[in-house]
């Protein structure tokens, strides 16, 4: 019997081979070159041995597979980059062949003459789901753990191993397009309703149900390989097709503004592929896949949203030699909106949490926030009443600091006032053991200043959450001047425990994210003052790739908060620190018109009662003389909004506030949605090139002011032809440590 490293193969008395995928030393199965070579040999064996009547492929782990391995994607892109220098055509052909191996393997499997069934026991993503679709039937476990998706579009590519061709041949084209262009996750019931799953079985009967299909005479031929096959929902050239494709193209344009080539390629693959025989369709898909893999967007998104994101989530910035923290109890000081949210995500991670406020009713109110969030999850079918009861049992509301005894970590989330924070820190430290870490959730006050209130500044750190805490996936971990490695390691361990992505930031006013966001908002205020119509500002931001316009974002965070920040900045740094015209605009909105943002139903937008949608306040047109739309350079608006943020990110790197470009990029996307197709703030500059970007910045500086002045770091990079990932190569630091 042949030996395989990543698979086992056993044949039962009925001649059904059970192929179990169980990679050693991996928590999850992934596709590597070795895995694909072994699977290729297994397919040959199943086809060749007369005693084998069919095969079931299952996982030996809790999940089925996460899809392609990071290293394999990296190697493919690096090889192409190296070979491209010797000749684009030859390099492209090699990329086409390399990328096509998986597609060819799956095609071999489905045409081998023996029936294959995929037994899906848990997460099944990307190439793993494409493998399952190539099988002649799919059985999914009846479990909340089963999640199926083709999410490649989220990292700038698309399913290139048959996904764009098999999905629309198993379900109708509208559902197929929605799934493929959004990366939609499917439950077993949803997948079965779409025709993508054959059966749903009890988890403990999964493999037996898959075998039963083969015993029952499962045909070893896919529907599209049979004569007379008809597409679900009808052909492309039909009344249904005429009603689907023109709107689909328009919707894609509306949602992406042409910024995501992979999403457009999906439409082309499906449309063109459904007009030709299946093998030709696979070749069409592979040609588009090869094209997209060469795009700037794919390279940037794969790096930031796949590779860097996973590295940071695994603790790339965690100091070495510090034992991992096992959290037995965590304290949260302040049961307001932020504190209540922190308590919720902590309890959701299964960690007992003490929620402390000035009195028990206030603390109970904070706990009630968790109950409301769980009620929402129950309504959506994502949780059960038992889950709610279990989570709430982990939250202890109190007004007694003595209840913090035994906490490994305490997070202070009280009112943004230095005196209040000082009192909370001193009272907490009087109870805490010497090894405990105290973190502040401040969004504005420097951590070094707050650490002066602590008797043990080495164990004092900032953990800056974003609102709403339960939805936002990023936390900024801020180092004070005296913060030690243990505090940093503990903060990163906590972020990982609650499934948030940590970025490490050195201390400064506004840290990293808020400095960038405030620039974004400020540039919009400046545009308004110039007379640019408000709708053009918001539309330019969306067209540039931002999920929310700067005026809408100001409303969400509160206009009166912007006012407080401006006035505090003037008190701290002097009158020249804030543009007086911008301050006058915000003062006018708040003081004259009581427009404080979404929270009081009026800001830059009006917020009528549902179901009516918000709309820009007509009064904005009366504040400043309006330019005619035709006199405004729309492309330049887009450039201003992205460049002003990117320049601030470059300054943050120059000042060594952020030292790892991965954190700057991932942080900008997760915190405020900086145009994901660019890969983040620094990848945006790298993608343009330092020299052309500096030229753009200088042109904008000449027209619009000092906020576009390129920092010395960028000028030096432009002169040397460097990128941020060359100048601040995070892997070089890791290699030095390893050496």
Residue 561 has pLDDT above 90, yes or no: no
Residues carrying CATH 3.90.226.10, the chain: 7-294
pLDDT digits (tens, 9 = 90+) for 80-95: 888 888 888 888 898 8
Residue 150 pLDDT: 96
Residue 309 has pLDDT above 90, yes or no: yes
CATH number of the domain located at residue range(s) 7-294 in this protein: 3.90.226.10
**Quick one: 271 exposed, middle or buried, by C-beta within 10 A (0-12, 13-18, 19+)?**
buried
Pairing status of strand 7-11 against strand 474-479:
unpaired
Higher pLDDT: 441 or 85? It is 441
pLDDT digits (tens, 9 = 90+) for 5-49: 999 999 999 999 999 999 998 999 999 999 999 999 999 999 999
pLDDT digits (tens, 9 = 90+) for 133-151: 999 999 999 998 999 999 9
Tokens of 35: 């895995």
pTM of the model: 0.91
Residue 734 has pLDDT above 60, yes or no: no
Angle, helices 534-543/513-530, rounded to nearest 10 degrees: 140
Q: For residues 87 and 81, give the distance between their C-alpha atoms in angstroms, rounded to a whole number.
A: 10
Q: For residues 537 and 595, give the distance between their C-alpha atoms in angstroms, rounded to a whole number.
A: 19
Q: How far is CA 719 from CA 3, 451, 694, 712, 713, in A?
A: 56, 40, 10, 11, 10
Contact between 155 and 134 under an 8 Å Cβ cutoff? The reply is no
List Cβ neighbours of 246 (8 Å cut-off, separation of 6 or more): none
Pairing status of strand 474-479 against strand 460-465:
antiparallel
pLDDT digits (tens, 9 = 90+) for 444-495: 788 999 999 999 999 999 999 998 999 999 999 999 999 999 999 999 999 9
Residue 302 has pLDDT above 60, yes or no: yes
List Cβ neighbours of 329 (8 Å cut-off, separation of 6 or more): 351, 352, 353, 354, 406, 407, 408
Q: Which of 136, 369, 464, 567 is catalytic?
A: 464
List Cβ neighbours of 143 (8 Å cut-off, separation of 6 or more): 121, 122, 188, 203
Q: Which of 473, 449, 444 is nearest to 460 (CA)?
A: 449
Residue 68 has pLDDT above 90, yes or no: no
SS3 label, residue 533: coil
The region that residue 583 occupies, defined by phi over 0 for left and psi between -120 and 50 for alpha, beta otherwise, is alpha
- The dihedral built from the CA positions of residue 445, 450, 452 and 456, taken in this order, carries a sign that is negative
Residue 1 pLDDT: 46
567 labelled catalytic: no
Least confident window among 74-78, 323-327, 366-370: 74-78
Describe the strand order of the beta sheet including 137-141 as a list of residue ranges. 7-11, 16-21, 54-59, 116-120, 137-141, 199-201
Residue 720 has pLDDT above 70, yes or no: yes
- Mean pLDDT (whole number) for 336-350: 95
Q: Write the DSSP assignment of 200-235 as a string of letters.
A: EE-GGGHHHHHHHHHHTT--SS-GGGSTT---TT--
- Residue with structure tokens 């919707």? 251
* Cβ count within 10 A of residue 228: 5
Residues carrying CATH 1.10.1040.50, the chain: 514-727
At residue 640, φ and ψ (nearest 5 deg) are -60, -45
Residues carrying CATH 3.40.50.720, the chain: 330-508
Residue 617 pLDDT: 96
Tokens of 322: 């510090």
- Residue with structure tokens 């960028």? 714
Q: How far is CA 309 from the centre of its chain?
A: 8
The secondary structure element, H or E, covering residue 95 is helix 88-110
Class of domain 330-508: alpha beta
Q: For residues 192 and 204, give the distance between their C-alpha atoms in angstroms, rounded to a whole number.
A: 19
pLDDT, mean over the chain: 94
Pairing status of strand 501-506 against strand 474-479:
parallel
Residue 735 pLDDT: 56
Count CA atoms within 13 Å of residue 632 on its CB side.
Answer: 21
Residue 9: strand pairing partners = 19
Q: For residues 377 and 371, give the distance between their C-alpha atoms in angstroms, rounded to a whole number.
A: 10
Pairing status of strand 395-398 against strand 353-356:
parallel
Question: Given pLDDT bands bounded at 50, 70 and 90, which one contains residue 77?
Answer: confident
Extract the runs of DSSP E, i.e. beta strands, from 72-147. 116-120, 124-125, 137-141
User: What is the chain's percent helix, strand, coil content, to nearest 5?
Assistant: 55, 10, 35
Q: Which of 346, 304, 360, 353 is nearest to 331 (CA)?
A: 353
Residue 737 has pLDDT above 70, yes or no: no
Class of domain 514-727: mainly alpha
List Cβ neighbours of 607 (8 Å cut-off, separation of 6 or more): 598, 601, 614
Q: For residues 537 and 605, give the distance between their C-alpha atoms in angstroms, rounded to a whole number.
A: 13
């Amino acid at each position: 019997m042949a030996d395989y490293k990543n698979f086992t193969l056993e044949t039962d008395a009925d001649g059904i081979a059970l192929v179990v995928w169980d990679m050693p030393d991996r928590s999850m199965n992934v596709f590597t070159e070795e895995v694909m070579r072994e699977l290729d040999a297994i397919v040959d064996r199943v086809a060749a041995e007369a005693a084998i009547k069919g095969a079931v492929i299952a996982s030996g782990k809790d999940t089925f597979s996460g899809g392609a391995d990071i290293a394999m994607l990296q190697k493919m892109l690096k090889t192409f980059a190296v070979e491209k220098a010797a000749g684009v055509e030859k390099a492209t052909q090699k990329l086409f062949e390399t990328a096509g191996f998986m597609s060819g393997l799956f095609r071999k499997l489905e045409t081998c003459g023996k029936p294959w069934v995929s037994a899906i026991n848990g997460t099944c993503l990307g190439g793993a789901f494409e493998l399952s679709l190539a099988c002649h039937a799919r059985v999914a476990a009846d479990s909340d753990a089963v999640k199926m998706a083709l999410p490649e579009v989220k990292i700038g590519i698309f399913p290139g191993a048959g996904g764009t061709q098999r999905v629309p041949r198993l379900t109708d084209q509208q559902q197929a397009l929605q799934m493929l262009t959004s990366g939609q996750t499917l439950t077993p019931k949803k997948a079965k309703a779409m025709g993508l799953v054959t059966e749903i079985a009890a988890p403990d009967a999964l493999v037996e149900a898959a075998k039963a299909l083969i015993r029952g005479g499962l045909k070893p031929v896919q529907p599209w390989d049979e004569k007379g096959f008809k597409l679900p929902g009808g052909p492309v050239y039909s009344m249904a097709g005429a009603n689907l494709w023109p709107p689909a193209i328009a919707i894609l344009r509306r949602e992406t503004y042409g910024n995501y080539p992979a999403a457009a390629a999906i439409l082309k693959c499906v449309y063109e592929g459904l007009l030709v025989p299946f093998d030709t369709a696979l070749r069409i898909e592979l040609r588009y896949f090869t094209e997209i893999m060469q795009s700037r967007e794919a390279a940037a998104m794969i790096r930031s949203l796949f590779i860097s994101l996973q590295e940071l989530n695994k603790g790339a910035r965690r100091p070495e030699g510090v034992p991992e923290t096992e959290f037995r109890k965590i304290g949260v000081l302040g049961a307001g909106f932020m504190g209540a949210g922190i308590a919720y995500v902590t309890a959701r991670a299964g960690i007992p949490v003490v929620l402390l406020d000035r009195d028990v009713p206030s603390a109970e109110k904070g706990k009630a926030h968790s109950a409301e969030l769980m009620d929402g999850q129950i309504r959506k079918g994502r949780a059960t009443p038992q889950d709610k009861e279990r989570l709430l049992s982990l939250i202890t509301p109190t007004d007694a600091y003595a209840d913090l005894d035994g906490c490994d970590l305490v997070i202070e989330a009280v009112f943004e006032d230095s005196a209040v924070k000082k009192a909370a820190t001193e009272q907490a430290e009087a109870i805490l053991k010497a090894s405990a870490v105290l973190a502040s959730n401040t969004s504005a006050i420097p951590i070094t200043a707050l650490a002066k209130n602590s008797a043990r500044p080495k164990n004092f750190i900032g953990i800056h959450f974003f609102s709403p805490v339960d939805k936002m996936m990023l936390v900024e971990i801020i180092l004070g001047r005296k913060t030690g490695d243990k505090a940093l390691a503990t903060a990163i361990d906590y972020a990982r425990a609650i499934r948030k992505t940590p970025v490490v930031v050195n201390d400064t006013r506004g840290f990293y994210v808020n400095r960038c966001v405030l620039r974004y908002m400020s540039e919009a205020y400046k545009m308004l003052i110039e007379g640019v119509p408000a709708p053009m500002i918001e539309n330019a931001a969306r067209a540039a790739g931002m999920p929310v316009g700067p005026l809408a974002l100001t409303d969400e965070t509160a206009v009166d908060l912007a006012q407080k920040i401006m006035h505090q900045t003037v008190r701290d740094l002097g009158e020249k620190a804030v543009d007086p015209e911008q301050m006058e605009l915000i003062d006018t909105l708040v003081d004259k018109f009581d427009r404080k943002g979404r929270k009081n139903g009026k800001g830059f937008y009006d917020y009528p009662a549902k179901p009516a949608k918000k709309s820009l306040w007509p009064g904005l047109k009366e504040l400043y003389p309006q330019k005619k739309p035709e006199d405004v350079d729309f492309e330049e608006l887009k450039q201003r909004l992205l460049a002003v943020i990117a320049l601030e990110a470059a300054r943050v790197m120059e000042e060594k506030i952020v030292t790892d470009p991965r954190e700057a990029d991932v942080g900008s996307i997760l915190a405020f949605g900086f145009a994901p197709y660019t890969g983040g703030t620094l990848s945006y500059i790298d993608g343009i090139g330092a020299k052309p970007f500096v030229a753009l910045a200088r042109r904008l500086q000449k027209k619009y002011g000092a906020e576009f002045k390129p920092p010395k770091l960028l000028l030096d990079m432009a002169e040397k032809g460097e990128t941020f990932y060359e100048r601040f190569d995070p892997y070089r630091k890791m290699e030095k440590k390893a050496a």
